[in-house]
Structure 1
Amino acid sequence: MIAVLMSSNAYQARLLPTEDKNVCICGSERKSYAWLVTPHTLGTVSLTVVAETLPYRVCGRSPLTLNSTWRDTLVKPLLVEPEGIEKEMTQSSLVCTNGSTVSQSVLLPSPENLVRDSSRAYWSVHGDILGPAMQNLGNLLQMPFGYGEQNMVLFSSNFHILDYLSQTQQLTEKIKSKAIAYLIKGYQKQLSYKHPDGSYSTFGPQDQQGRTWITPLVYKYFAVSKPYIFIDDNIQSRTFIWLMNNQQADGCFLNVGPAFHSVLKGQDDKISLTAYVVNALIEAGHPISSAPIQRGLQCVEAAARARATTTYEQALLAYTFSLAGQEGKRQFLINKLQETAKKRDGLVYWELEKKPSVEEAALGYRWASSAEIETNCYVLLALLSHPQLTSGELSYASQIVKWVSRQQNSRGRFSSTMDTVLALQALTLFQRLTFSRNRQNSVLIFSSQPFQMGFHVNNQNRLLLQQIPLSTTNKNYTVEVSGYGCVFVQATLKYSIFLPKKSTGFFLSVNTANAVCRGSFDTKFDLVVTASSLGRRSSSNMAVIDVKMLSGFVPDKPSIEKLQRDGQVQRVETKASHVFFYLENITQRKIQFSFSVKQDALVTSIRPAFIQIYDYYGADEHAYSEYSTPCQQMSFAGSLF
């Protein structure tokens, strides 16, 4: 028997000599093979090793004769990534036609500080605005995971997609069974973040108490999911009692624990928190006439009279009064919001005060913040929730939808957690109200260079992803959409940049210590991470420290698990070649923790790896650092079998 690494255009491989000089393997024997592998492409490269018997071979002194050949194959994926920090930029548009042709330009920017040959671009066409969210069940209809809030975002995403497809009669049995299975697992996972008193928190019982911002979210989505999965009414009753115990005499709800993102809601959260809870209770099915809801409405009305409201609060209250059926107050706020709306290129949207980052300015593109997406989605929900929606309001809402749809990334998500929940809720509601089976569009993308590709979108393929690669050497493209109906088109640019020199909001450093450099698979050292807040606020929101592993290295699991057990970090997640540390907040006082990494594969010419920290609810606040291995004696490259 002999083993062979199959050749491929994706890599170059050379068999390395070993101490065992025998070429083949006889019965009850074993042999190690080693190849020097040099990848030629980025992405997942499949290494295929085939072991097969030979018709005739002399192994030592014993001849082996076989009348047939037996073969076994092993395929091992190898992830090949460019150095630097991974980035993604999308340009999305919801294009609607009514027998006409609409033309738009697509410009692929040239990012500064770009890692050579790291750019990849794609063009996607969807027949539904939720296409990016539904193009692959592994993206939004995925197994819920992570901390309590993130789990609920995935749970709610699953619910909205399932409910939308069901109400528009597009739900297949295959999607239904998978979505319901994910909801069940998400429900069971969320219960692990429940406190004995019925409340929920970001990290579950390890937090001292439940939190008012996340508990209504869980309560609401458990209630609306009852048509699809079993929800324990006793648990729901306990949660409702906890919420009622935190409603004060004036009808306002007490804020227990930190808010989702305090940078948005500020110190006085009477209006936003109470309106948020009232909305959840109404959406969960409680009658508007019930005492908790009526008292909550009295609270927000009194608080709104006492001071000027922000744009965010106006949008939130407009939705609250829409749900409560208070048409006069809803219309007053919508009129007030229309006065401050920005209008450009057929879009209607609201911006909050925010200066573009250095990278945004260099690219000529401004990403919307989580707070801005929430604001626009609340306005959209306030308009669409009206029982007697006029054609004028629907047309106005469609212009907001076009702005919201532009904020989606290639996976159908948005800036953060709560804005993803709200955006999917608003977009699915809009899609239900405007759904039509009588639509058919042709999409053509072309450039001045010899490139042209056409797509056809109809009822049969409206939920399917149609995607092609684009050349990044050509920066200018034009897309033309004709026919009847709407299509969602998206250009995605993925690239890597070298470590930025500037940071905002945080200090971050990383050092190596306690190195053990004994050669092959006996190399280990510690990473010492130091961080603090440098922002205008004394404390950040929840912060995430993302540590990229060096090529060929993996984190030492016991060391990172100990950090979580000891309470130095609230949660640790390992995903692909990254380790994510979640911290409830970062203050101006420096924190420090360390963990171990060890060699897992032999690699040569190891490039430095980066580490970054960012505010989970405001990724424009971030800092970067990098580290290298203190052991440089590795002499092999690629993977060993």
Structure 2
Amino acid sequence: MTNIVNTIIEGVDSLIKQPAGCGEQTMVRLAPTVYAMTYLKQTQQQTAYIETKGSQWIRDGVNREVSQFKQADGSYAAWRDRTPSTWLTAFVAKVFCQASKVVNDAVDQEKDVKLTIDWLNNHAEADGSFVDNMPVINREMIGQINERDPSLTAFVLITLQECGNSNAGVNATVNRAIKCLEDLSEDMLKKNPYLLAISTYALAMSYSNRSITFFKFLHDIKKTDREGTFWGNPGDKPANAHSVETTAYALLAMLKFGDIKTSSSIVSWLTSQRGGTGSFRTTQDTVVGLQALSQYSIVTYSPDVNLKVFFFADGTMFSSVRVTKENAILLKNISRLPVETKDNKLTVKVQGTGSAVMSIDLRYNRPATAEESCPFKITDIDVQEVEDLPIDTNLAKERNCDVCGHCAGVYDYDDYDSDNFRDRPEIEPKINSNFGRKKRNTDIRISATAQKKCIRFSVSSMNDKTYGMSIVKFGLETGVEVIKSDIEKLVKENNTNIAHYEMPSDGKGFIVFYLHEISSKKRRKFIFSGVRGHF
């Protein structure tokens, strides 16, 4: 039993993660850390361990994002050679502005924020709206935002207001964006609860008079169930990402209007939808949900918590806990609840002052399905030794040979002695090239005398789903060094799907491929070679 946000965090470590990956993935890890640390700092509940680890990872995340993915004009993309994304740039600015309030030395306001805000300001449309001509690769990141409808405008407006880097140009852009949202029709808003929720919060932050009307629209279309108040379709539990993110923005809006009664009912619903690890379904609904719940906890937080909680079953008390200021941050577990009592009812009585949240987790075990264990199919990894000879590129192109010397329709013989040519089709004379030699077809293994290894495998999904940005990490045999030119050729030939690759500078240990997507309709094939070094 804990206060609100710790029920969601369920041990701060579950959301505080070390940043890694591309520009999008770095932010996926950085954002929850920033919002978790925001709550703990503002309610003075940071432990020394969490403060040290969380603060360092925020610094690391900001530094990684800026040093590796920031473009010269202040914009951001998954990779520096990719066209910048308006949404990702706004998200980076939003998180950086919040991070600067948590860790004083994490963000350089002039270099890391102002330049990015200026980029956003310069990329507003004439009517004040924003569009994204280069959507992010990881679609899960953006949640329900549509890069071509007003929800992106609302998101950028929230960023500009939260950062507060005002000047004449930014103020003019903010005013146009406000007007753009104020002009949205009641019919459009009520048919799109997400657009209504995020726009209401954006206008409330901007002190727009029209926000009061939007606030009333939110109340008009709210839904209730036994868990509390929500917006959208509940779907299966945990709630679908659309409902969670929409409801989280509605909570932020309610808090702006001081509607604590409705906010409490929303919090009850949100906390009932979390997964077993304390998060929701996707990155964005978890981030927005955490921000909203953190804000609610900050608004309702009382340092004078002093609660006695008693648990009864069949009229008999079987457990009790005490919640005070000193232990409020700690999760209190009561194991082995008597769930098989006569009437199967649990009675909870509370005395004292303050607020806390109790949640009951009912879990059962079953074997994981194949898709749950791993939704991808990986073929057997074919590793063959081939002769490490110079490549005749002209011959390779003519015979459609790959980087490992496998050529279409080329016969193979055990060696090139004259006896082997009796009664055989005429073939090309011996060439000092790895291509066109010793290959009967691509399915035959050869025995080679050199230390060059050819590696082949392919990846696809196990169902009809298409997965967005995915990572394939291939561990190399000890001492084998990848031939970089092979990787560059592979990336060039698959530039529509392989977004980027990473490997140690010496080419040993592993190689990581970043893919735009993995689907069941088309296998993603990988072929490259490596040379065994001396060690």
TM-score by length of structure 2 reads 0.68
| Change in CA separation of 1:157 and 1:447 when aligned onto 2, cut-off 3 Å | farther
Q: Is 2:234–2:243's contact at 8 Å kept on the other side of the alignment?
A: no
1:340 and 2:221 aligned: yes
Q: Among all aligned residue pairs of Structure 1 and Structure 2, give the percentage whose two residues are the same amino acid.
A: 23
Tell me the residue number matched to 2:307.
440
User: Does the alignment pair 1:272 with 2:119?
Assistant: no
Correspondence for 1:384 = 255
Among residues 458, 477, 489, which one is paired with 2:359 in the alignment? 489
Distance 1:340 1:197, change over 3 A: same
How do 1:60-71 residues align onto structure 2 when only pairs under 5 Å count? none
Q: Distance in 1 between matches of 2:73 and 2:382?
A: 45
Question: Is it true that 1:151 corresponds to 2:83 in the alignment?
Answer: no
- Aligned mate of 1:292, from 173, 178, 183: 173
Structure 1 residue 222 corresponds to structure 2 residue 96: yes
Change (3 A) 1:431 1:588: same
Distance 2:523 2:132 in 1: 27
The one-character-per-residue Cα deviations of 1:198-217 (angstroms, maximum 9, x if unpaired) are 1112x3225x2111111111
Shift of residue 297, structure 1, vs aligned partner: 1.5
Helix, strand or coil at the partner of 1:244: helix
Is the CA contact (8 Å cut-off) linking 1:559 and 1:595 kept in structure 2? no
Alpha carbons of 1:210 and 1:281: their partners in 2 closer, same or farther (altered >3 Å)? same
Question: Which protein has greater RCO, CA pairs closer than 8 Å, 6+ apart?
Answer: 1
Alpha-carbon distance in 2 for matches of 1:373, 1:466 = 26
Does residue 382 of structure 2 align to residue 514 of structure 1? yes
Mapped contact 1:133–1:139 kept (Cα < 8 A)? no
Shift of 1:159: 2.6
For residues 583-608 of structure 1, the C-alpha deviation after alignment (integer angstroms, 9 at most, x for no partner) is 33457862423489xxxxxxxxxxxx
For the 8 Å contact 1:215–1:239, the answer to whether it is kept is: yes
* C-alpha contact 1:195 1:204 (8 A) present in aligned 2: no
Does residue 542 of structure 1 match 2:468? Answer: yes
Q: Report if aligned partners of 1:134, 1:463 keep a CA contact under 8 Å in 2.
A: no
In structure 2, what is the Cα distance between the partners aligned to 1:464 and 1:277? 36
**Does residue 197 of structure 1 match 2:129?**
no
The reply on whether 1:249 has 2:126 as its aligned counterpart is: yes
CA contact (8 A) 2:7 2:271 kept: no
Residue 11 of structure 2 is aligned to residue 129 of structure 1: no
SS of 2:277's equivalent? coil
Corresponding residue for residue 602 of structure 1: none
Whole-Å Cα distance in 1 between the matches of residues 75 and 55 of structure 2? 24
Indicate if the aligned counterparts of 2:312 and 2:346 stay in contact, CA closer than 8 A. Answer: yes
Query: 1:533, 1:247 → 2: CA distance?
Result: 40
Q: How far off is 1:379 after superposition?
A: 0.5
**Displacement, 1:171?**
3.3
AA partner of residue 592 (structure 1): R
CA distance in 2, matches of 1:251, 1:229: 32
How many angstroms does 1:182 deviate by?
Answer: 2.0
Per the alignment, do residues 224 and 501 of structure 1 end up closer, same or farther by CA in structure 2, a change over 3 Å counting?
Answer: closer
From 390, 396, 400, the equivalent of 2:262 is 396
CA distance in 1, matches of 2:17, 2:364: 22
Question: Higher strand proportion, which one?
Answer: 1
Alignment partners' CA distance in 2, 1:501 and 1:160 = 32
1:466 paired with 2:332, answer yes
Give runs of aligned pairs for residues 554-573 of structure 1, distance below 5 A.
566=491, 568-570=497-499
1:456: which partner in 2? Answer: 322
Deviation, structure 1 residue 419: 1.2
- Closer, same or farther: CA 150–368 of 1 in aligned 2, 3 Å: farther
Aligned mate of 1:405, from 256, 262, 271: 271
Structure ranking higher in helix proportion: 2
Change beyond 3 A, Cα 1:488–1:245: same
Match of 1:209 among 76, 83, 91: 83
Structure 1, unaligned runs of 5 or more: 1-125, 357-365, 518-523, 597-641
Question: Could you tell me whether the CA contact under 8 Å between 2:200 and 2:215 is conserved in 1?
Answer: yes
Q: How big is the shift at 1:404?
A: 1.0
Q: 1:588 to 1:525 in 2, by over 3 A?
A: closer
Aligned partners of 2:372, 2:98: CA distance in 1, in Å?
45
User: Quick check: 1:279–1:323 contact (8 Å CA) kept in 2?
Assistant: yes
Post-superposition CA distance 1:300-359 (Å, at most 9, x none):
3345479565111011111111111124x22322222222222122501123385x5xxx
- 2:248 maps to 1:371: no
* Distance in 1 separating the partners of 2:313 and 2:469: 42
In 2, distance between residues paired with 1:471 and 1:560?
59
Looking at structure 1, the residues matched to 220 and 244 of structure 2 have their Cα atoms a distance apart, in angstroms, of 18
Distance 1:280 1:501, change over 3 A: closer
Contact 1:210/1:257, CA 8 A, preserved across alignment: yes
Structure-2 change in CA distance of 1:488 and 1:501 (3 Å): closer
Which is further off, 375-384 or 554-563?
Answer: 554-563
1:315 equivalent to 2:197? Answer: yes
Q: 2-side partners of 1:508 and 1:163: how far apart? A: 37
Q: Cα–Cα, structure 1 residues 527 and 418, in superposed 2: closer, same or farther, change >3 Å?
A: same
Report the 3-state secondary structure (helix = DSSP H, G, I; strand = E; otherwise coil) of the residue aligned with 1:397: helix
Give the superposition deviation at 1:508. 5.8
SS of 1:146's partner is coil
Secondary structure at the counterpart of residue 361 of structure 2: strand
Contact 1:369/1:415 (8 A) holds in 2: yes
Match for 2:70: what amino acid? K
Indicate conservation of the 8 Å contact 2:76/2:89, yes or no.
Answer: yes
User: Partners in 1 of 2:167 and 2:211 — Cα distance?
Assistant: 15
Q: Distance in 2 between matches of 1:563 and 1:451?
A: 66
Name the CA shift for 1:404/1:147 in 2 (closer, same or farther; >3 Å). farther
Q: Quote how far apart the aligned CAs of 1:491 are.
A: 1.3
How far apart are 1:292 and its partner, in Å? 1.1
Q: Give the drift of 1:225.
A: 2.7
In structure 2, how many angstroms separate the alpha carbons of the residues matched to 1:346 and 1:560?
57
CA distance in 2, matches of 1:400, 1:573: 43
In structure 2, do the counterparts of structure 1 residues 507 and 183 end up closer, same or farther at CA, with 3 Å as the change threshold?
A: closer
Asked if the contact 1:198/1:235 (under 8 Å) is kept, the reply is yes
Change over 3 Å in CA distance of 1:235–1:343 after alignment to 2:
closer
In 2, Cα distance between equivalents of 1:571 and 1:471: 50
How has the CA–CA distance of structure 1 residues 245 and 408 changed in structure 2, closer, same or farther, with 3 Å as cutoff?
Answer: same
